[in-house]
Amino acid sequence: MVLTAMVWQGCGIYSFTGASYGSAKTVSIDYFQNRSSYVNPTLSQKITEDLKNRFMSQTPLNLVKSGGDLSFEGTITGYKISPVDIKSSGQAANNRLTITIKVSFTNATEPDNDFDKSYSRYADYDVKLPFATVESTLVEDIVSLLIDDIFNDSVVNW
């Protein structure tokens, strides 16, 4: 038991999600500004809050307004719909919603883990469905994938 504690202590703090925080105690997440050509009015808030919620639910880190040991800044750079699965008739069978965000991550306790990175995820939907009826579900699914990517890149170092 003592040996296990010593090994875990020497490697930093780990969770059952595989996350490693080193000696970090706090996290700050700035509001993700929407700079895409199409602005979904709820997307900035959704990404920001979902990222905060992930860190609050899956880490022991304390959320602070600014200057956290782990710090995130981000910008939504793309929100676009494009046709996919073109049929022989030249018509698209599906449309694709793609969301792209740029994230700057700073780890004050382990600066070698800092990064500036763009993330892009998408979801397809049937062209027969009006976008307004599927948009919120698509956004929910895409944002979940983006949050997974950001969380994994910042604190899951497998």
Q: What are the structural domains of the chain?
A: 2-155 (3.30.160.150)
pLDDT tens for residues 128-149? 999 999 999 999 999 999 999 9
Q: Which residue has the higher pLDDT, 100 or 158?
A: 100
Closest CA to 109 of 72, 70, 73: 70
State residue 157's pLDDT score: 67
What is the pLDDT, as a whole number, of residue 85? 80
pLDDT, tens digit (0-9, with 9 covering 90-100), for 110-120: 999 999 999 99
Burial of 66 (0-12, 13-18, 19+ CB in 10 A): exposed
pLDDT digits (tens, 9 = 90+) for 3-41: 444 344 444 444 445 577 789 999 999 999 999 999 999
pLDDT of residue 158: 55
Residues 73-110: tens digit of each pLDDT: 999 999 999 999 877 777 888 999 999 999 999 999 99
This prediction has a pTM of 0.86
Q: Determine the pLDDT at residue 128.
A: 93
- Asked if the model's pLDDT at residue 65 lies above 60, the reply is yes
Q: Is 2 exposed, middle or buried (0-12, 13-18, 19+ CB in 10 A)?
A: exposed
